[in-house]
Amino acid sequence: MYCVDGGRGSTGGDDVGVGGGRGSTGGDDVGVGGGRGSTGGDDVGVGGGRGSTGGDDVGVDGGRGSTGGDDVGVGGGRGSTGGDDVGVGGGRGSTGGDDGGRGSTGAPGRLATIGTEHWVKYLLILGGKAVPSIPVKVLESVDWLKSGVMSPVKDQGHCGSCWAFSARGAIEARYKLLTNKSTLLSEQLLVDCGHETGSLGCAGGRMDQAFSFIKKHGLALESAYPYSAKSGLCRIDESPAFKAGYIHTFYFVQSKSEHELKKALATGPVSVALRASSFSFRHYKSGVLKGDCSGPISHAGLAVGYGAQDGIEYWLVKNSWGANWGESGYIKIARGVNELDNSGECGILAEPVFPVLNSALLTTV
């Protein structure tokens, strides 16, 4: 679950704490999924809102995060927390030890990887697909910002809606690539109505959930459903400008491979999960950020290319903290860096996902 801290506005201690939702509380360990988590003694887990608690071993339930004593098994992708071993389903940031959400302090939990069987089950639930390898040539550099396909940078404000901005931005850019027409779609509709596919509005969500929702329902224009930076009453447009079916499917680049992310970026911008709780990330101004991306993966951005600056390789990422943040709303994150879980600098390789639009159905919106 990304943006579990309610956007940029939460504060606590030295690092930004958890807000934006109804996170669980308990003894030593607090897991945050932004929803209606369970509470207990030492270990409190939230699996996207419906986390269960148990003894030592908690089995897989195919989608709703579980928590337990020492070993936690997770199915379906929603983040789980627990005592010593935390299993992560589908990439949603999980925490153990004393960690809460994005920017909490404490000993970080050990991240594990979900098994193939449960990963596939999760994909089938949302209607996405895993891509072993993308059959395109790896280019020396890619920059979709310079190519002119990117929509303007926006500010999510005090709402944990980074996931909606990332998903919407990926669709807008890929729509322009196919039609040579610009469009601005509504992230607010995703915030208000995305609960159907597991997102929690301003309390967090995921890009794959957003793609799944849009694939089924379509998406209104921003002008018809403007952003308010707060969760509101769902008003699904029965005749949206971006119609149901315009998204053919969405693909996960799940190998935690720089090579595969480069290949995905050759096809267009790619939604990515990020570690963004460090001071250096939050107060980034310019240059290439390297070596200071602490905390759990709980933010989302949009990778729009890669290249090198002064001999340092980087990924170029569009953020949703306004055009006055970073390099006009963008950040360069060091490339060629592998963290302990092989997720790359700031976790950028942890869970890339991108939509595939149905070019045969697209019309000007």
User: Which residue has better confidence, 63 or 3?
Assistant: 3
pLDDT reported for residue 338: 74
Task: Point out which residues pair with 308 in neighbouring strands.
Answer: 313
At residue 40, φ and ψ (nearest 5 deg) are: -165, -160
Q: pLDDT per residue over 267-316, tens digit each?
A: 999 999 999 999 999 999 999 999 888 888 889 999 999 999 999 999 99
pLDDT at 135: 72
What is the mean pLDDT of the segment spanning 58-83? Answer: 34
Which residues lie closer than 8 Å to 115 by C-beta, 6 or more apart? Answer: none
Cα 212 off chain centre by: 14
Instruction: List C-alpha distances in Å: 290 to 103, 173, 206, 253, 335.
Output: 18, 27, 25, 23, 9
Q: Which candidate, 355, 349, 356, places its Cα nearest to that of 91?
A: 349
Cα 94 from Cα 280, distance rounded (Å): 22
Compute the distance between CA of residue 346 and CA of residue 290 in angstroms, rounded to an integer: 9
Pairing of β 247-252 and β 129-130: parallel
DSSP state of 230: S
Residues 6+ apart with CB under 8 A from 326: 284, 285, 286, 319
The CATH 3.90.70.10 domain(s) of the chain lie at 130-357
DSSP character string of 176-205: HHHHS----B-HHHHHHHGGGGT--TTB-B
Q: Indicate the residue type of 84.
A: D
Query: DSSP secondary structure string, 12-76?
Result: -TTS----SS----BSSEE---SS----BSSEE--STT--B--SSEE---SSS-B--SSEE---T
Question: 68 is written with which tokens?
Answer: 């337990």
Cα–Cα nearest to 84, from 24, 1, 28: 28
Q: How many other C-beta atoms can be found within 10 angstroms of the C-beta atom of residue 161?
A: 35
> Smallest Cα–Cα separation from 304: which of 147, 195, 180, 193?
147
Give the span between the Cα atoms of 66 and 318, in whole angstroms.
Answer: 32
Distance CA 120, CA 160 (A): 27
Q: Please state the separation of Cα 36 from the chain's center in Å.
A: 20
Write the CB contacts of 92 (distance below 8 Å, at least 6 apart in sequence): 1, 2, 33, 48, 65, 77, 78, 79, 206
The answer to whether 29 touches 188, Cβ cutoff 8 Å, is no
Helix axes 116-126, 207-217, angle to 10 degrees: 40
Can you give the pTM of this predicted structure? Answer: 0.70
Among the residue ranges 88-102, 113-127, 197-211, 344-358, the one predicted with the least confidence is 88-102
CATH of 130-357, one of 3.40.50.970, 3.90.70.10, 3.40.50.300, 3.90.1580.10: 3.90.70.10
Residue 292 near residue 261, CB atoms below 8 Å: no
For residues 141 and 337, which has the higher predicted lDDT (pLDDT)? 141
Measured CA to CA, the distance from residue 263 to residue 111 in angstroms comes to: 26
pLDDT of residue 292: 80
Count CA within 13 A, CB hemisphere, residue 330: 23
Query: Which pLDDT score, from 0 to 100, does residue 18 have?
Result: 33
Active site residues: 162, 299, 319
Please give the Cα distance from 294 to 28 (Å, whole number).
20
* pLDDT of 320 higher than 70: yes
**Model confidence band, residue 7 (pLDDT cutoffs 50, 70, 90):** low
For the cut 90, the answer to whether the pLDDT of residue 170 exceeds it is yes
Looking at every residue in the chain, the average pLDDT score rounds to 73
